[in-house]
């Protein structure tokens, strides 16, 4: 009888609120970063600054999550690399945009 209870407990493991809270915290952090970047994008400067803010913040956040040992997965480090490339491209676009204006 106890083996049946253990199997049921194991199947319900993902539904325990503590485990869902870890995943939800990461989503809330990314949503907060997106709201900050949206606020920066609404300033009277170029929208590239908002996109750069979001991309750089998400790059740092995902790298922090990977190094701190929090949430990890098979696509975490490719996402960090992708956001690093995107950040570099946005910096280049912002610099070339400023050079064109001057």
**What is the per-residue pLDDT across 69-78, written as a single tens digit (0 to 9) for each?**
766 788 889 9
Q: Say what the pLDDT of residue 47 is.
A: 81
Q: Could you tell me which of 42, 90, 81, 85 has the C-alpha nearest to residue 62? A: 81
Flag residues of the chain having pLDDT under 70: 1-26, 70-71, 99, 102
Q: Say what the pLDDT of residue 21 is.
A: 54
φ and ψ of 74, to 5 deg: -70, -25
Q: Say what the pLDDT of residue 24 is.
A: 66
Domain span at residue 58?
A: 2-101
Domains identified in the chain, total number? 1
Q: Say what the pLDDT of residue 85 is.
A: 96
Quote the pTM value.
0.66
């Amino acid at each position: 009888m106890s083996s049946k209870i253990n199997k049921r407990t194991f199947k319900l493991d993902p539904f325990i609120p503590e485990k869902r809270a870890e995943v939800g915290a990461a989503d809330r952090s990314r949503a907060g970063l997106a709201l900050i970047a949206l606020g920066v994008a609404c300033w009277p400067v170029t929208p590239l600054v908002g996109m750069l803010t979001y991309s750089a913040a998400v790059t740092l956040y995902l790298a922090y999550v990977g190094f701190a040992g929090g949430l990890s997965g098979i696509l975490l480090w490719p996402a960090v690399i992708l956001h690093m490339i995107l950040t570099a491209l946005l910096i280049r676009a912002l610099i070339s945009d400023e050079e064109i204006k001057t």
